[in-house]
A = this chain, B = another copy of it.
Amino acid sequence: MSLTPAPAGAVRQGSLRELNLALVLGRIATADRPPSRADLATATGLTRATVSAVVEDLLAGRLVSESDPAPRSGAGRPARGLVLADQGPAGLGLEVNVDYLAVCVVDLVGQVRHRTVHRADLRPVAPADALARLVEMAGAAREDAARHGLTLVGAALAVPGLVDDAGLVRLAPNLGWRDVPVPALLAEHPPLIEQVPGVPALVVDNEANLAALGELHSQPPGPSSFLHISGEVGIGAGIVLDGALFRGVRGWSGEIGHLPVRPDGRPCRCGGQGCLEQYAGQEAIVAAAGLVRAELPADTATARLAELAEAGDADALRALHDAGTALGVAVASVVNLLDLDTVVLGGGYAALAPWLCPPVLAEIGARVLTAAWSPVTVRPSTLGAEAAAVGAAGSVARRIVAQPAGWLARPG
């Protein structure tokens, strides 16, 4: 999701204003301090007159507000700083995962204004029932958002599986879902959002993708190209290139869990052999550490591992080192291929990062030709749990920033 305007088709007279609205608003969103109209004029290359006109539209639409006297030095009339409004449009983020449901609301600024998590084992629950429960939570979220002056303009749902363009969940193995028509199931419930031109009412996407988007938009802003790895039962990755999520031809990119790291190794349930998941997936690590999986609820497995590693347990340390090495082989492949300089460990990996990072870095150092000239950073995610839900909500809010014209054109 680039912040620079990029018209797809004809550039009409009115597109001009649309593009400049996006340009100016994007600048306000990414500035590290509230810019004045004059700042925006020099930053964008537009004239002050144009910026004033554009800002007037944005103020009228309540997308930005004027902040009180901005700190300045020197003579001259003081500038009025412009900031994104903390009221107005907001995004709804939804997440179905193996052991929890999550709902959150993120505003234009990117802040989480509402958050609900419902812990439960979702594997035995029918998809329709899980979604119904989610809608219920979302209803409460909307009411809470309204109390803060926020209007939900779109929703994004994160699922740990493969999703096609139409929102059909083709396969979510760890959840036991197959060919679940999410949009159709959700359409049976009363709509929770106010439709705005240019913002899809519902986007269904892979959990790893949305978590990566969350990382992209987190504060402080990080790099615009990176790999975000979600290490859960399965291992997924979100690839962010130049500030935009790369989804692949059919939206199924990031299947890093099935990169062959030991081509003649253990058979994987995907049909292949020696997939990363067999060596660095949650179950593999737990087993290698000598823990009995049945005694560990999924959401406590990584916590228990971290506990043992912290205490110096030899089995746990070895298991983590081996997993990190396997992960490092896969990451080295990605870095060689895409020339990324940042890798973020998210999901269950975030808590295990202190033990995973060293072997991953070692493999990168040994296997990446260009690592000698420019080092690769490997760090844990800054977002906590439910990162995908936050990323989902943020992706909706970002869309308003990227295409404000739709919101401004609404009748209200």
Contact = CB atoms under 8 A, between A and B. Distances in A.
B4 A260 contact: no
Nearest to A224: B249
Contacts of A330: 333
A314 B230 CA distance: 45
Nearest to A339: B248
Specify how many copies of this chain sit in the oligomer: 2
Nearest to A46: B10
A20 B13 CA distance: 11
A286 B252 CA distance: 37
Contacts of A7: 4-7, 19
A366 B44 contact: no
A166 interface: no
A370 interface: yes
A333 B239 CA distance: 14
Interface residues of A, number: 65
Contacts of A249: 223, 225, 339-341
A38 to B, nearest CB: 15
A387 B403 CA distance: 40
B10 A367 contact: no
A140 B366 CA distance: 46
A368 B258 contact: yes
Contact of A263 (B329, B337, B373): B329
Interface string A339-365: 111000000000000000000000000
A263 B340 CA distance: 21
Contact of A366 (B23, B246, B273): B273
A332 to B, nearest CB: 6
Contact of A367 (B237, B260, B333): B260
A253 B338 contact: yes
Interface string A264-306: 0000001111010000000000000000000000000000000
- Of A247, A255, A336, most buried by chain B (CB within 10 Å of CB) is A336
**Which A-B residue pairs are the 9 nearest by beta carbons?**
A248-B339, A10-B45, A272-B367, A253-B339, A11-B19, A255-B336, A6-B6, A252-B339, A259-B333
